[in-house]
């Protein structure tokens, strides 16, 4: 890509274009509404940053749950192990 830009710059010099004209062509600075484009660019950056922060906050909130059901504490009780003989010896149920 940079090689192409250098070639365009050399061709522009051979054609007798000034560096300002070449920059307008190569950087696409020939827009009709530069202020509107600048405002939209800044708003886009702000929205992207807010969206990124929201994803990070949601990731932290979701990862807080320890168990797959989303609970922060275990819902298993000792009574759930009554049917297992080895567990009933361990817990003396």
**Are 18 and 40 members of one domain?**
no
What pLDDT does residue 59 have?
A: 85
pTM of the predicted structure, to 2 decimals: 0.43
d(CA 93, CA 79): 8
Number of separate domains in the chain: 2
Q: Is the pLDDT of residue 63 over 70?
A: yes
d(CA 37, CA 16): 30
Flag whether 76 is in a domain.
no
Higher pLDDT, 83 or 29: 83
Flag whether 42 is in a domain.
yes
Q: What is the average per-residue pLDDT within 27-42?
A: 76
**Are 21 and 39 members of one domain?**
no
Flag whether 62 is in a domain.
yes
Residue 47 lies in domain: 34-67
Flag whether 9 is in a domain.
yes
Flag whether 81 is in a domain.
no
CB 73 within 8 A of CB 64: no
Flag whether 83 is in a domain.
no
Helical axes 2-15 vs 19-26, angle rounded to 10°: 140
């Amino acid at each position: 890509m940079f090689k192409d830009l250098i070639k365009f710059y050399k061709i522009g010099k051979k054609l007798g274009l000034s560096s300002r004209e070449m920059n307008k062509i190569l950087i696409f600075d020939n827009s009709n509404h530069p202020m509107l484009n600048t405002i939209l660019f800044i708003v886009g950056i702000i929205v992207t940053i807010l969206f990124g922060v929201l994803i990070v906050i949601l990731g932290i909130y979701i990862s807080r749950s320890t168990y797959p059901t989303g609970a922060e504490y275990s819902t298993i009780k000792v009574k759930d192990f009554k049917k297992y003989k080895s567990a009933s010896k361990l817990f003396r149920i």
